[in-house]
Amino acid sequence: MNPSVLPIFTPDMLYITQRFTIRKGDQFYGSINCQFPVDENGDPAMDRTPIFEGEVVITLPTPQGPVPAPVTFAIDTVSLPLACQMFFTEAERKVKELESRLVRQQILRPSK
Protein backbone atom coordinates (compact mmCIF):
# COMPACT_ATOMS: atom_id res chain seq x y z
CA MET A 1 0.00 0.00 0.00
CA ASN A 2 1.34 3.37 -1.01
CA PRO A 3 1.36 5.68 2.07
CA SER A 4 1.07 8.79 -0.12
CA VAL A 5 -2.46 7.80 -1.24
CA LEU A 6 -3.81 6.88 2.18
CA PRO A 7 -6.49 9.20 3.57
CA ILE A 8 -5.76 11.26 6.64
CA PHE A 9 -7.46 9.47 9.52
CA THR A 10 -10.34 11.28 11.19
CA PRO A 11 -12.74 9.90 13.82
CA ASP A 12 -15.69 10.16 11.40
CA MET A 13 -14.17 7.23 9.46
CA LEU A 14 -14.91 4.75 12.27
CA TYR A 15 -17.73 2.20 12.06
CA ILE A 16 -18.52 -1.02 13.87
CA THR A 17 -19.89 -3.77 11.66
CA GLN A 18 -22.59 -6.30 12.47
CA ARG A 19 -23.61 -9.08 10.10
CA PHE A 20 -27.17 -10.41 10.11
CA THR A 21 -27.76 -13.71 8.32
CA ILE A 22 -31.03 -14.34 6.51
CA ARG A 23 -32.02 -18.01 6.64
CA LYS A 24 -34.96 -20.31 7.16
CA GLY A 25 -34.04 -23.73 8.51
CA ASP A 26 -31.11 -25.01 6.48
CA GLN A 27 -31.73 -22.56 3.61
CA PHE A 28 -29.31 -19.61 3.49
CA TYR A 29 -30.66 -16.58 1.60
CA GLY A 30 -27.99 -13.96 2.21
CA SER A 31 -26.86 -11.43 4.76
CA ILE A 32 -27.12 -7.79 5.68
CA ASN A 33 -23.97 -6.05 6.83
CA CYS A 34 -24.65 -3.02 8.99
CA GLN A 35 -21.92 -0.48 9.57
CA PHE A 36 -22.84 1.66 12.54
CA PRO A 37 -20.89 4.90 13.06
CA VAL A 38 -18.87 5.21 16.25
CA ASP A 39 -16.71 7.93 17.73
CA GLU A 40 -13.02 7.62 18.61
CA ASN A 41 -13.99 5.88 21.90
CA GLY A 42 -16.14 3.27 20.14
CA ASP A 43 -19.38 4.83 21.39
CA PRO A 44 -22.32 5.25 18.96
CA ALA A 45 -22.04 8.40 16.86
CA MET A 46 -25.72 9.33 16.64
CA ASP A 47 -25.04 12.32 14.38
CA ARG A 48 -24.01 10.00 11.50
CA THR A 49 -26.08 7.59 9.42
CA PRO A 50 -25.47 3.83 9.40
CA ILE A 51 -24.54 2.08 6.14
CA PHE A 52 -26.35 -1.08 5.04
CA GLU A 53 -25.05 -3.57 2.48
CA GLY A 54 -26.65 -6.81 1.34
CA GLU A 55 -24.91 -9.93 0.10
CA VAL A 56 -26.21 -12.98 -1.76
CA VAL A 57 -24.34 -15.84 -3.39
CA ILE A 58 -25.27 -16.85 -6.92
CA THR A 59 -24.00 -19.80 -8.93
CA LEU A 60 -22.34 -19.01 -12.25
CA PRO A 61 -22.05 -21.69 -14.91
CA THR A 62 -18.48 -22.10 -16.16
CA PRO A 63 -16.79 -24.65 -18.43
CA GLN A 64 -15.27 -26.15 -15.26
CA GLY A 65 -18.71 -26.43 -13.61
CA PRO A 66 -20.82 -24.20 -11.37
CA VAL A 67 -18.92 -21.59 -9.35
CA PRO A 68 -20.40 -19.70 -6.39
CA ALA A 69 -20.05 -15.92 -6.69
CA PRO A 70 -20.86 -13.43 -3.92
CA VAL A 71 -22.85 -10.38 -5.01
CA THR A 72 -22.91 -7.31 -2.77
CA PHE A 73 -25.25 -4.35 -3.07
CA ALA A 74 -26.08 -1.16 -1.23
CA ILE A 75 -29.34 -0.92 0.68
CA ASP A 76 -30.16 2.78 0.81
CA THR A 77 -31.96 3.16 4.13
CA VAL A 78 -31.39 4.32 7.69
CA SER A 79 -32.62 1.35 9.76
CA LEU A 80 -32.26 -2.41 9.99
CA PRO A 81 -36.05 -3.06 9.75
CA LEU A 82 -36.19 -1.11 6.47
CA ALA A 83 -33.05 -2.87 5.20
CA CYS A 84 -34.78 -6.21 5.87
CA GLN A 85 -37.87 -5.08 3.93
CA MET A 86 -35.73 -3.93 0.99
CA PHE A 87 -33.29 -6.86 0.93
CA PHE A 88 -34.90 -9.18 -1.64
CA THR A 89 -35.91 -6.36 -4.01
CA GLU A 90 -32.40 -4.89 -3.99
CA ALA A 91 -30.81 -8.35 -4.33
CA GLU A 92 -32.95 -9.19 -7.35
CA ARG A 93 -32.18 -5.83 -8.99
CA LYS A 94 -28.43 -6.28 -8.50
CA VAL A 95 -28.41 -9.90 -9.73
CA LYS A 96 -30.37 -8.93 -12.87
CA GLU A 97 -27.96 -6.05 -13.48
CA LEU A 98 -24.99 -8.42 -13.12
CA GLU A 99 -26.56 -11.04 -15.43
CA SER A 100 -27.20 -8.38 -18.07
CA ARG A 101 -23.60 -7.19 -17.89
CA LEU A 102 -22.23 -10.76 -18.13
CA VAL A 103 -24.45 -11.46 -21.17
CA ARG A 104 -23.24 -8.26 -22.87
CA GLN A 105 -19.65 -9.28 -22.22
CA GLN A 106 -20.48 -12.75 -23.60
CA ILE A 107 -19.43 -14.39 -20.34
CA LEU A 108 -22.92 -15.74 -19.67
CA ARG A 109 -25.63 -17.00 -22.04
CA PRO A 110 -29.04 -15.32 -21.82
CA SER A 111 -31.48 -17.14 -19.52
CA LYS A 112 -34.60 -18.58 -21.12
Residue closest to 48 by CA, chosen among 38, 61, 58: 38
Q: Return the SS3 of 89.
A: helix
CA distance 36 to 47: 11
If one counts the domains in the chain, the total is 1
How does pLDDT run along the chain (112 residues), one tens digit per residue?
666 777 888 888 999 999 999 998 988 889 999 999 999 999 999 999 999 999 999 888 877 888 888 999 999 999 999 999 999 999 999 999 988 888 787 766 666 5
Q: Return the SS3 of 2.
A: coil
Specify if 1 maps to a domain. no
Residue closest to 108 by CA, chosen among 70, 38, 60: 60
Specify if 110 maps to a domain. no
Specify if 109 maps to a domain. no
Q: C-alpha dihedral over 41, 18, 95, 78, to 10 degrees?
A: -60
